[in-house]
A and B are shown apart, each in its own frame.
Chain A
Amino acid sequence: MKRFLMVMMVLVLGFVSIPVSAISDTQKESIIEKCDNIKTNLKTVQRNDSRARVFLGAYYETILTRYITPLNIKLVEKNLSNAGFVENQNGFASGKTIFANDFTKYQQMLEELVAVDCKTEPEKFYNELVDVRKRRKIMEQDVLKMRQLISEQTKLVEGLRGKI
């Protein structure tokens, strides 16, 4: 029984401690060979993403401060506000903050990925790339969420037609 438990412990610890590499030999060779090109591509992605962040961030700010918030203030003054408008404003404000924070995390991870020497550490590089992809997916979802909130705002305002 003791021997069985020890074997099980070794197996479990082995699974936990040894990182499972998702990288194939072909990928490893390709990363080593094209390391410089891959890094150049990543830096281009980094620049384009920063531009997207600045561009979208500016629009989100405009929509919140020049559209959603002032309209809600006027609706409250006229007793026309409802839970939908308040919910949308809160969701948009927190979504904007989440978008900014997620981008900072994503860019930090991308920065760390670019710093990894892919010629000597292709596996580490690929594992970090997989993590950055997951972070990028979160960014994509954040953008979709913000777009959805803008559509909801449009629908809510369209619903005011005939009431004012």
Chain B
Amino acid sequence: MTEKKKRFDWGENKGGMNLVFLGIASVAIAIITVSISLIVYHNSGDIYLDRSRPGFLPDEEEIEAEEVEEDYDFGKVEKLDAGTIEEYLKNLNIEVKAIDMYEKPFDASVLSDENLGISE
């Protein structure tokens, strides 16, 4: 009975305790390194690059303007008459305005020597 008890005595069984510490330390190191890499990934802007690829969706705050008319879908409209056509044009116009509000996307001047700080 005493011998059996000894087998589970952590104070005596240093090998077992070290193994537990090793396990805890490994998990802690993994959590810390993964967290650091995720922070670097986010802050470096690479996350935007990856999310910009086909199949990925924007953040909620990036589609605020779209949410206004998110429910409108002409596929759900049953009739095709003058009224539904006017509704279609009204909603399409809202989407167009939102697109136009995005000022000069991919404007060439952004990469000019002057904007990048290169003296000519």
Which residues of A are at the interface with B, using a C-beta cutoff of 8 A?
Answer: 24, 26-27, 29-31, 34, 37-38, 41-43, 45-47, 49-59, 62-63, 65-67, 69-71, 73-75, 78, 80, 100, 103-104, 107, 111, 126, 129, 132-133, 136-137, 139-140, 142-143, 147, 150, 153-154, 157-158, 160-161, 164
Contact = CB atoms under 8 A, between A and B. Distances in A.
Interface size class of B (residues with CB under 8 A): 35 or more
Interface string B26-59: 0000000000000000001100110111101110
B82 interface: yes
B2 interface: no
Contact of A164 (B80, B106, B119): B80
Contact of B99 (A74, A139, A150): A150
Interface of B: 44-45, 48-49, 51-54, 56-58, 62-63, 66, 72-75, 77, 80-82, 85, 88-89, 91-93, 95-96, 98-100, 102, 105-108, 110-111, 113, 115-120
A157 B89 contact: yes
Nearest to A31: B118
B85 A157 contact: yes
B45 A66 contact: no
Contacts of B118: 27, 30-31, 34, 38, 126
17 contacts: A26-B120, A27-B120, A37-B117, A38-B116, A41-B115, A42-B116, A50-B52, A54-B51, A54-B62, A62-B95, A66-B72, A126-B118, A150-B92, A150-B96, A153-B92, A164-B80, A164-B82
Contact of B74 (A71, A136, A142): A71
A129 B62 CA distance: 29
A54 to B, nearest CB: 4
B105 A143 contact: yes
Given A52-B102, A52-B106, A56-B102, 9 more contacts: A38-B116, A43-B45, A46-B49, A59-B66, A74-B74, A74-B77, A126-B118, A136-B111, A140-B107
